[in-house]
Amino acid sequence: DTEGLLRIKEENQKHYRRAQRHQEKKEKIQRHNRKLGDLVEKKTYDLKTQYEHLANLRRSHILELTSVIFPIEEVKTSMRDPADVSSESDNAMTSSTVSKLAEARRTTYLSGRWVCDDHNGDTSISITGPWIILPNNGDYSAYYNWVEEKKTTQGPDMEHNNPAHTISAALCYATQLVNTLSLILDVNLPKKLCNRRVKMHSRGISDLKSAYEFCGENLSRHRFTRAVKKLNANILHLCFSQHVNLDLLHPLHTLRNLMYLVSPDTENLGR
């Protein structure tokens, strides 16, 4: 029993010495982890600072871009409410009729259905100049109506102020601006929209075809509507990436959504 007790004491001493070595290793690892933690915290702070600096640079580039090359502004149109005009001409008109006229003014027939638009008739949004505007309610039917009319009308086009021309130009500029913003913000767009001519190959024959959406040949209603939907999707994607207030956005308001995106009041612009 005495010999067994001595062996147990020797084993306990070995375990004790091993435990001390393990404790020293544990303390060494803890010191190393604390050192790494301080380093990670410092690197994280430096990275956050660099992100803020990069966001400020992006923001300044975007504000310069939209103030010098692609200014987007709200254009007021002087239109009187039909309810006001009618009430002046007919003093006996009831309040219910006035309210119905006001409601009809805020309603637009768009793509086969009636939609409510509080800004209808009040404003338009311009890009690169007050003469290149888009309807605020997203109704671009003037474009494909003009295209259909040109198919049946022969002769050169002499209408320089045709709304179809301004719609096409505004959408083309909006596409250019969106593509440039995606590069500055480093955000991949969900839909591909091209705004330049590229050389395409077909059956081994190289020819120059129009690869941009709105600046080339007149588009059919289907192609035009499809291109507008892709552009609106890209704009909304950029707005979501920059945390634009969702209450301000509307899926059909192309330039208005862009205006909210590049506004100096957008706190997270450049993130």
Q: What is the pLDDT of residues 55-104, one digit of tens each?
A: 999 999 999 999 999 998 888 765 444 444 444 444 444 556 656 665 66
Q: Say how far apart CA 241 and CA 270 lie, in whole Å.
A: 9
Same domain, 107 and 230: yes
Residue-number span of the structural domain to which 132 is assigned: 70-77+96-198+207-262
Angle ∠(131,76,144) on CA atoms, nearest 5: 50
Same domain, 47 and 106: no
Q: In terms of residues, how long is the chain?
A: 271
Phi, psi of 134 (to 5 degrees): -125, 145
Q: What integer pLDDT is reported at residue 130 of this predicted model?
A: 83
84 found inside a domain: no
Q: Are the beta carbons of 227 and 219 closer than 8 angstroms? A: yes
Q: Mapping DSSP to helix (H, G, I), strand (E, B) and coil, where does residue 127 land?
A: strand
Tell me how many domains the chain contains: 2
190 found inside a domain: yes
Q: Mapping DSSP to helix (H, G, I), strand (E, B) and coil, where does residue 125 land?
A: strand
267 found inside a domain: no
Same domain, 46 and 135: no
63 found inside a domain: no
> Helices 163-185 and 221-241 sit at what angle, rounded to 10 degrees?
40
Same domain, 182 and 121: yes
Same domain, 123 and 50: no
Same domain, 35 and 154: no
Same domain, 104 and 54: no
Of 178, 172, 255, residue with least CA distance to 216 = 172
35 found inside a domain: yes
More confident residue, 216 or 58: 58
Q: What integer pLDDT is reported at residue 109 of this predicted model?
A: 53
pLDDT at position 161 over 90: no
Same domain, 142 and 255: yes
90 found inside a domain: no
More confident residue, 218 or 195: 218
> Helices 95-105 and 82-89 sit at what angle, rounded to 10 degrees?
150
Q: Which pLDDT band holds residue 209 (cuts at 50, 70, 90)?
A: very low
Q: What integer pLDDT is reported at residue 25 of this predicted model?
A: 93
Q: Which pLDDT band holds residue 34 (cuts at 50, 70, 90)?
A: very high
More confident residue, 102 or 191: 191
11 found inside a domain: yes
Same domain, 185 and 235: yes
Q: Which pLDDT band holds residue 26 (cuts at 50, 70, 90)?
A: very high
Q: Are the beta carbons of 241 and 178 closer than 8 angstroms? A: no
